[in-house]
Every structure is written in structure tokens, then in C-alpha cells.
Structure 1
Amino acid sequence: MKINNMVDAKRKIGIVGSGSWATAMVKMLGDNVLDKEILWWIRKEEDLTYVKTYNHNPSYLSAVELRVAPENLYLDARSVIQKSDIVILNTPSAYLKDALRDVSAEDFQGKIVVTAIKGIIPDENLIVGEYLTKIYAIPLTQIVVIGGPCHAEEVSAEKLSYLTIAGKDATNAEKVAEVLRNRYINTIISKDVYGVEYGAVLKNIYALAGGICHGLGFGDNFLAVLVSNAIREMSKCVMAIDPEADRDINASAYLGDLLVTAYSQFSRNRTFGHMIGKGYTVQSAQLEMNMVAEGYYASACIQNIIQRYALDMPICNMVYQILYNRQPANEAVKQLAQKLT
């Protein structure tokens, strides 16, 4: 399938999602100097009305001014996808199927389809790129993955940040990088689509583990050991899934994203884990947070990967036992501590 030529034409970039990361991405696009048009799907009608009136998202990153023409705000994701050259999917993984419920495979034809979603589709047990290929028949060459390390809150404050843009087709990856790049966003091009996407899934689980340990009272010394074991565990997993890829596990998309998610005050997965470590139930922690912790859903989904490839991943297993089998957190961490090196 030939991708629309965007060299001379005005680029039309569609965002599907209206949470904090999607809002930060709208800001990135608005601050990019290229001639382009931004189209944005917003889930709640009251939020769309507010953005149309005040140029701010009232629910997420509410202080950030957003540069989107009022006529380009939609409650209909299909219209955004049909009218865009580049489609950026940026909802929590658990909500993507609902967001795309009226969208057909034909609507994605000729588009570069970007996933900025750092999770696995529940029930399907597929990363977003695999889901798009299976359900919408989108060729892998048309799919681009956005990796970190990058927190929405720091993007909104215009702090210098780096994004990894991964695509099997380097030309399409560069087109996506070009529209996101601005004075505070640098981009790194990669061909490791599976590694970047699975790495983003796994780092949320490891950040959740770090939060659990912190909530239990473990200090920075232990967390450093946990994270160093986590990056080796991640390497083992992505190598099993895609052993032929050219990747450096110590690069920003893998180790960098793991570090910022495990340590940052802005990490929702670390916060969620901290609450679990403090004794919250999963349900009470979810109710108290205003944002989705992708690591919760990923923890269950990644078990299928562990079983499929017969992998030894004790940190992922510990998180799963705590969240889904209700093993006491202090007991699970003590067992894990005997396995760390």
C-alpha cells in the first residue's frame, strides 16, 4: 500500500486519545514549526467543549495551552482517522478497542499509523502493533512505535526530552519524527519495533514493582538492585520475542525509559505500586488514581509471553502474584530478594 506523499502537501496529523500523554503530544505537535493541521479525538463531550472554548484540556495537564483549530476537534475517532495522513493512537490500551469500535480496515488504508500506547490489549494479549496488523490488516511497514523516556508532565513544562521513533520503514519513522521534533523534543530513529514496544510494556511492570518495594519501606539501595535485574530480565524477554533485531538494551528506549518510570515522581505505575505496597487493594488504588497504570493490565498479559517462551522472569512473576493472586506484598518481595543478584 502506497503511503500518502506528505513532502509538499500540508500534513494532517490525527490524535486519538485525550489523556495526559495525548494532551502532551498535541502540545508537541503545536510547537513544531512545520506546516501541518492537527485533528484531535476527545472522548468526553464536556472536555471537547472546554478545549474549543479555552484551548486547555480541563481533565489533564490543564495549564497547557493547546493549538488546535476548533473545527478540528471531534467526538468521532473515525473522522479523525479518515482525514489524517498520520494517525497517532494514544489511549490507554484497555480503551483502544472501544475508541476504534466504528473504525474499519479501509479507514486506515494509506495512513502511517503510530502507536504511543505503552501497554498490551487486554483479552487479546497482543501489543498494539500486533493488534493493528491482526484486526485491521495494517502492514507492519505502515506502523510506527513511539518510545520514551518521556513523561507528559515534563513535556508540558517544555523540559528537554527524547523520543525513540521505531519503524520497519525508516522513511515513515522519519516522517513521524519530523512532525514531533521541536525545540524541546529530540528524536531517535530505530528499526526495533517489537523491542521498543515490548520494552515499554515491561518497564511499567518493573516500575510497579519498584513502587511496591518503596511502599513496603525498602530504600534506594534495594531499588537499584531491582532495576539492574529488571533490565536484564527485559533483555531476556525481548531477545526471545525478536532475536534478530539490532538493539542495545542500554539505549534510551529500554534502560532510559525503565529508569525514568521506576524513579520519577510522575510515574503513575510507580505510584500505583507504592499504594499496593502501603496496603491498598487493587480496587481502592485504581479508584484513587485519575489515570490508568498500564502495568496492572500488562502484568496479566505478559504471563502468556513468559509461558510461551518458557522464560524465567521473577520480577514480573512477583508483581502478578501480588496483583492477581493476592499474595501478601511483603512475603512476595522477600521471596524475590533471594533471587536478585
Structure 2
Amino acid sequence: MAEKIAILGAGSWGSILASVLDENGSEVRIWSYNPEQVKELNEKHTNKRYVKDYTYSESIVAYSDIEIAIEDADDILFVVPTQVTRSVARQVGEIMKRTGQKATILHASKGIEEKTYDRLSQVLAEEIAPENRDAIAVLSGPSQAEDVARHDITLVTVASENQHAAEKLQKLFMNNYFRVYTNDDVIGVEIGAALKNIIALGAGALHGLGYGDNAKAALMTRGLAEISRLGTSFGANPLTFIGLSGVGDIIVTATSTNSRNWRAGNELGQGKSLSEVVENMGMVIEGVATARAAYELSQERGIEMPITTAIYKVLYENLEIRDAIRWAMTRDGKAEIG
């Protein structure tokens, strides 16, 4: 019998993951808060605002009613923007509590909640009662939706403290172009996934300013170092950051023009204001909110994160990008390791 999977969020990543699961034989429902998007998916089988020139299977059914979308689902996958995950999860938790439904809860979003600094698995655990969930897991890795749509070779990881759940989800998603590994380091996978968006903003800004490959390589390498410092302070396995959800995700997000964080940084480097960039993008730029959360966490925990600090000051204190680079480059000398 086919696994019933509800995907909450019909953006580029959520809708393409729906296609992967549909191709693998699952019964897929997808929810969107936008009735026009639901109508387009059901009638035209397209999602032009998010994925151009792509046609979805007619067997994927979209809903604007979240209760109908999750009814009897074996697995519920959250792919909504970080800052609305809690409100959506609260709705789901209330429905599941009322109906007695139980499911595996999974997310594929990349960010840290502002103010609480919660990782998304923590948000889901707080809003969905233990009796209504088999496990909580996260799917992450270097995976641009546009590339997955054309069946480019893609490798990701699914992390959960529940090994059985991780292995079940691995089988559901894996096929001849989409390979999935398991990991038990939820903390490391989520922190790597969230903070790489900050580095992508920086990489885009360097490109917009005209810097070359040396600068971009330096940014990604040292960016990974400070992500690892913050992550291990929470108990993450340092090896996670040299894996798919660490260095892998940084490489793809900080080099691809498909990355909205890279594109946002590129526009900032070309002299546009943050408000102009946000308006032009028309979609959530996760790295902007994550930069604030990561900066505040680094201050709270006494973790040195100069790249994050520089990007935070550009975004929120109106520091000129060239001045931020000059500050970062002229700090006191340090040992590379340690």
C-alpha cells in the first residue's frame, strides 16, 4: 500500500520534493495557503512562480485546507518558510490532537527561528504533541530544486534521533537520481543548513562587488569554520560540517545563481538596498533573518563569528559592504586551527 505523504508548502522545494515522492510511488498531497496556487497545481499542473517550464504529475493533489491535506497522512513534511513554521505546526498539532492522528514529522526548511533561536525540529516538537508523532526528522543537503526537477544527481541526508524513522524516510525518497544518507546528528544538520544561507549572502555580495575565486573560496572555508564553532557549542558532531549538510550545502548555495540567498547578496554587492532586494526577490530570503539569529547567538555564547558579524552589520546596521570586508580582513592575526 502506498505511503500517504502530506507536504506543507508549495514553493519550489516543497513542490519538487512532491514530485520525487510521487515518482517513487507515494500518494502525495500538497498544501498551500494560496488558493490560486492550488488551482494552478490541480488544473494546469504547473507552479510557474516558483518552477518555470515544469509540469507536475496529475496524481499530485493540492489543497488549501490544511486539515484535508494531512488527513490520514503517514508522514507530514514541512517546507514552509522558517518564520511561519511555528504557526503552521501549531495548526497541525491542534488538528492531530483533536483527531488522534499520528505521523512521522519531517521538515526540509533551512533557518533558525528569530527571538527564540529554536531550530525547526525544536519548533515542531514544541507544537506537535509526542503522542501524535512517531519521530521528528530533517531532510537537508546540497539540493537546488531546479536541478532536482531535471533529475540532476543529488545527494542529501535525513537526520533523526530515531534510526528506524530515518531509514524509512531514506527509502521513501531515494531513487536513481536522488540519493539519501542517514545521520543521527539533528543539531549539526540543522545548524549547517541554516547558517550556510548567511555565507551564500556573502558570496553573492563578493560577486556583485567584482571579487574573484580566491575571495569566494576564502569566504566559504572560513564560513564553514565559524558554522562549526557555533554548532559544536550546542553538541553537534564536527564531522557533520564536512558532510552534505555542511560543506556540500555551502558549495551549492554559495556558487549557484539558482540560490535566492546568493542572488540577494549579489544585488546588495551591486549597491541595492536591503528593502529593494527583498522586494525584487518576491520570495523569502532565509539568510537575512538567520544572520540576525546567528549573530545574536554568537554574542550570547561568546563564539567568534566574524563573517556572520560583518554580514549582520551590513544588513541591520547599514555598514557599507567594503567597510565590512576591510574590518574582517584587518583584524588581529589568528591561528587557522584552534
The match for 1:43 among 11, 16, 33 is 33
1:247 aligns with 2:236: no
The within-5 A match list for 1:112-127 is 112-127=104-119
Residues 293 and 138 (structure 1 numbering): CA distance in 2 closer, same or farther, change over 3 Å? Answer: farther
Question: Which segments of 5 or more consecutive residues in structure 2 lack a partner in the other structure?
Answer: none
The equivalent residue for 1:6 is none
* SS in structure 2 at match of 1:260: helix
For the residues of structure 1 that align with 2:76 and 2:58, how far apart are their CA atoms? Answer: 15
Q: Retained in 1: the 8 A contact 2:232–2:238?
A: no
The match for 2:229 among 236, 242, 256 is 236
1:53 aligns with 2:43: yes
For the residues of structure 2 that align with 1:142 and 1:133, how far apart are their CA atoms? Answer: 9
Amino acid at match of 2:273: T
Q: Retained in 2: the 8 A contact 1:192–1:247?
A: no
For the residues of structure 2 that align with 1:265 and 1:303, how far apart are their CA atoms? Answer: 25
For the residues of structure 2 that align with 1:267 and 1:58, how far apart are their CA atoms? Answer: 17
For the residues of structure 2 that align with 1:270 and 1:246, how far apart are their CA atoms? Answer: 25
The match for 2:80 among 91, 97, 114 is 91
The match for 1:204 among 177, 197, 203 is 197
- The Cα RMSD (Å) is 2.0
Percent of pairs with identical residues: 28
Name whichever of 303-312 and 153-162 sits farther off: 303-312
Q: Retained in 2: the 8 A contact 1:20–1:152?
A: yes
* SS in structure 2 at match of 1:280: coil
* SS in structure 2 at match of 1:155: helix
The equivalent residue for 2:57 is 67
* SS in structure 1 at match of 2:241: coil
* SS in structure 1 at match of 2:192: helix
Cα deviation for residue 92 of structure 1 reads 1.2
For the residues of structure 1 that align with 2:15 and 2:134, how far apart are their CA atoms? Answer: 26
Cα deviation for residue 105 of structure 1 reads 4.6
Q: Retained in 1: the 8 A contact 2:15–2:30?
A: no
Per-residue CA deviation, residues 155-188 of structure 1 (Å, 9 max, x unaligned), is 0111110111111111101111211112210011
1:290 aligns with 2:282: yes
For the residues of structure 2 that align with 1:300 and 1:176, how far apart are their CA atoms? Answer: 32
- TM-score normalised by structure 2 residue count: 0.91
Amino acid at match of 2:197: N
Cα deviation for residue 141 of structure 1 reads 6.8
Cα deviation for residue 138 of structure 1 reads 4.3
For the residues of structure 1 that align with 2:315 and 2:238, how far apart are their CA atoms? Answer: 34
For the residues of structure 2 that align with 1:274 and 1:263, how far apart are their CA atoms? Answer: 11
Cα deviation for residue 21 of structure 1 reads 0.6
